Amino acid sequence: MMKPIFYLVLIFAYFSWHVLGDDQNEKDSGEEENGGAFYCFLVRNTCDKIDLYSELDPYKNLSCTHMVYGFAIVDSTNWTVSPSWWDTQEVEEWEGNNTAVTSLHESSNMSILLGIYNDGNLSFIDSPESRENFAKEVVKSARQHGFQGIFFYFKSSQHFEDPQFLDFLVSLKKELDIDAEDSNRLQVVISIEPKHFERSHEVFPNIVPYFDGFYLLSDDTPSSERNDIAFQVNPLFPSTLNQTIVPEETISVIAEDLVDNLIPRDKLIIGLSVWANSFVLEDPNLAGHGEKVITKVKDSVTGRNDGKLAYFEICGLKNSSDIVYDSTAETTSFSAEGLWFSLNVPGHESFEKKLKWIEENKFGGVGLTSLKADDKDGVCGEGPFPVHRYVGEQLQRSQSISESEDNNNKAPACTRICIIRPEDTPSGFSFSNIETRWCSHIVLSSAKILV
């Protein structure tokens, strides 16, 4: 009597092929979208020494992903980078500012960028030899002192208008490629000033491949060069509510114009200011963007004389004054003692909306200039670095919410069963021919069980 034959279907769960593979891909993509960069700027006076063991502690608690240390000055005589006096000095068991600052990379995992500044013509682009020498010097300076990248801040628009600047970028890339053979590749970021945009936008497609990021100095608008009118800090949108703010003075219009001119959205960092714009009003009853002023305030304890005051200098006046909020432009300002101030107020909804707008429009991140303008010692009663801390908390909160929503809204993977019958493939079957997206499960049909 023949034994009955039963067929057993063997199901192999190839989650590692598709289900888990897709989840990992979605996670990586989500982290890239939601994990925007946060640029901070540590700008010191040339005579300042930074203590490696005590002075850096407040910076270690910041949420910055990138810290720009600067600024080194381009020497127009020999086209080399001249660091500040104390950056490389080693005296009495003190190893120099560069060593102190770059140690933040190890303790806080920040990428520390060497800031390089020039406010005149770029002499180093004039000849092949000078371009090559400067490129070598820049890479050498960054690598030798432990930086993870370079941040260029050139005040002149020459670098966007002169075709020889592109030749310099070719030389720089060559040096970066050589350097990257033995170490992680150095990041390269360059700043963009809105007032130079009209004269330089045509070159953006050519230079984009050479940079990891473009930092928008959004407070350097055409109005900032005038001394006879007041102007708001970082207006997000145009406004005609109680003040007239034209589109070309606003972050939203400038940033979208840059994207339209082929700067990738995810490479564009939106720079905001910690400094307050400060003016002596011509008429105390007329305050706002575009109103007449007698002069800019010029007695900042930080040494600035261009109308910029640090947050810690004006927080007392701010706390005792009424904040004027333009909900269209997303600006905040106040008047006190015949003066008018515009600033980004930590905790105010206008500041929150600017950060949300940057995130929702999927830009590369946000930056704040600078730590020098924030309240390091907590004299305002809001703890150390209240502006930077607020931005960091908002970014972290937004990232947590986005990750939670992604997990809650993630659709379950569809079941896709593929059946393979060995008897139909006498010469064998290669699983490598199956693409991962095809099957979530594979059925080998069918095994005989004799009872």
- Determine the distance from the C-alpha atom of residue 221 to the mean position of all C-alpha atoms in its chain, rounded to a whole number: 19
Best CA proximity match to 230, nearest among 305, 288, 294, 297: 288
Cα separation, 447 vs 330, whole angstroms: 70
Q: Is 127 in a helix, a strand, or coil?
A: coil
31 in any annotated domain: no
384 and 441 belong to one structural domain: no
26 in any annotated domain: no
Cα separation, 215 vs 97, whole angstroms: 24
Phi-psi region of 273 (alpha: psi -120 to 50; beta: other; left: phi over 0): beta
218-233 tens-digit pLDDT: 988 878 888 999 999 9
pLDDT mean over 53-77: 85
Cα separation, 142 vs 132, whole angstroms: 16
pLDDT mean over 287-314: 93
Q: Which long-range contacts (CB under 8 A, 24 or more apart) does 171-174 make?
A: 171/128, 171/131, 171/132, 171/134, 171/135, 172/135, 172/138, 172/139, 172/210, 173/210, 174/135
Q: In the block, which residue shows the tokens 């180093």?
A: 124
- How wide is the angle at C-alpha 213 spanned by C-alphas 63 and 156, nearest 5°? 115
46 in any annotated domain: yes
140 and 11 belong to one structural domain: no
124 and 225 belong to one structural domain: yes
- Burial group, residue 139, by CB count within 10 angstroms (0-12, 13-18, 19+): buried
120 and 48 belong to one structural domain: yes
- Burial group, residue 331, by CB count within 10 angstroms (0-12, 13-18, 19+): buried
22 in any annotated domain: no
Q: Are 117 and 157 in contact (CB under 8 A)?
A: no
Q: Are 30 and 399 in contact (CB under 8 A)?
A: no
List Cβ neighbours of 448 (8 Å cut-off, separation of 6 or more).
5, 6, 7
CATH code of the domain containing 150: 3.20.20.80
- Residue 252: pLDDT over 50: yes
Number of folded domains in the chain? 2
Mean per-residue pLDDT of the chain: 83
30 in any annotated domain: no
At residue 47, the pLDDT reads: 59
Q: Are 358 and 366 in contact (CB under 8 A)?
A: yes
pLDDT mean over 119-148: 92
172 and 257 belong to one structural domain: yes
pLDDT mean over 238-257: 91
Cα separation, 63 vs 23, whole angstroms: 27
98 and 176 belong to one structural domain: yes
Q: Are 188 and 139 in contact (CB under 8 A)?
A: no
Q: Are 117 and 73 in contact (CB under 8 A)?
A: yes
301 and 432 belong to one structural domain: no
Instruction: Provide the token pair at 267.
Output: 């490479």
Count the Cβ atoms, other than its own, within 10 Å of residue 394. Answer: 21
4-51 tens-digit pLDDT: 443 333 333 333 333 334 443 433 333 334 348 999 999 876 556 676
Instruction: Provide the token pair at 80.
Output: 């080399």
Q: Are 17 and 418 in contact (CB under 8 A)?
A: no
217 and 79 belong to one structural domain: yes
Cα separation, 140 vs 407, whole angstroms: 44
At residue 21, the pLDDT reads: 41
324 in any annotated domain: yes
126 and 254 belong to one structural domain: yes
Q: In the block, which residue shows the tokens 């963007």?
A: 289
Domain range enclosing 292: 37-409
Give the pLDDT band (50/70/90) at residue 77: low
Q: Which of the residue ranges 70-74, 211-215, 216-220, 272-276 would you say has the lowest mean pLDDT? A: 70-74
99-130 tens-digit pLDDT: 888 889 988 889 999 999 988 888 899 999 99
At residue 378, what is the residue type?
Answer: G
Whole-prediction pTM: 0.81
Highest mean pLDDT: which of 106-115, 267-276, 287-296?
A: 267-276
315 and 441 belong to one structural domain: no
Instruction: Provide the token pair at 409.
Output: 């809204």
More reliable by pLDDT, 106 or 354:
354
86 and 230 belong to one structural domain: yes
291 and 432 belong to one structural domain: no
